[in-house]
């Protein structure tokens, strides 16, 4: 059986290392999902990227919740909670409705491209 006390102790003892890995991993994995949506890749590739990115986001959320469990309420915990929640939300959006996410990405790309060319 899984002993949650050991997992909590590991989370507390290696917080900096866990966050040092999870923050860029979440950003890169979610960025990969957005890239695949923007390039209109195969659904299987998108699902694989969403799966990996969602697991990373859930691990970050569980790590943050472990700190809330012992009463650590600081700005970094809320920032990491927001980051994990946003990454998970974007990946769920990519899973549920990739077409609308693709349209949002295309609109954002056109807006930025027109702004860059005008300046």
Lowest mean pLDDT among 8-12, 14-18, 41-45, 61-65: 8-12
pLDDT at 87: 97
Is the distance from CB of 19 to CB of 50 less than 8 angstroms?
A: no
CA distance 64 to 81: 6
Residue 48 class from Cβ within 10 Å (0-12 exposed, 13-18 middle, 19+ buried)? middle
At what angle are helices 15-38 and 98-118 packed, to 10 degrees?
Answer: 90
- Scan for tokens 């702004």, then name that residue: 115
CA angle 16, 20, 22 (to 5 degrees): 115
pLDDT at 54: 97
pLDDT tier at 97 (50, 70, 90 boundaries)?
A: very high
Q: Is 111 helix (H, G, I), strand (E, B) or coil?
A: helix
pLDDT at 10: 87
pLDDT at 1 over 70: no
């Amino acid at each position: 059986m899984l002993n949650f006390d050991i997992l909590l102790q590991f989370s507390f003892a290696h917080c900096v290392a866990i966050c040092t890995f999870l923050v860029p991993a979440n950003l890169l994995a979610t960025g990969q999902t957005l890239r695949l949506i923007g390039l209109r890749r195969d659904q299987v590739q998108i699902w694989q990227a969403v799966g990996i990115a969602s697991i990373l986001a859930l691990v970050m959320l569980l790590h943050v919740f472990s700190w809330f469990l012992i009463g650590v309420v600081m700005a970094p915990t809320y920032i990491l909670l927001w980051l994990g929640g946003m990454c998970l939300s974007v990946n769920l959006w990519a899973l549920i409705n990739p077409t609308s996410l693709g349209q949002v990405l295309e609109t954002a790309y056109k807006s930025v491209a027109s702004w860059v060319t005008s300046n």
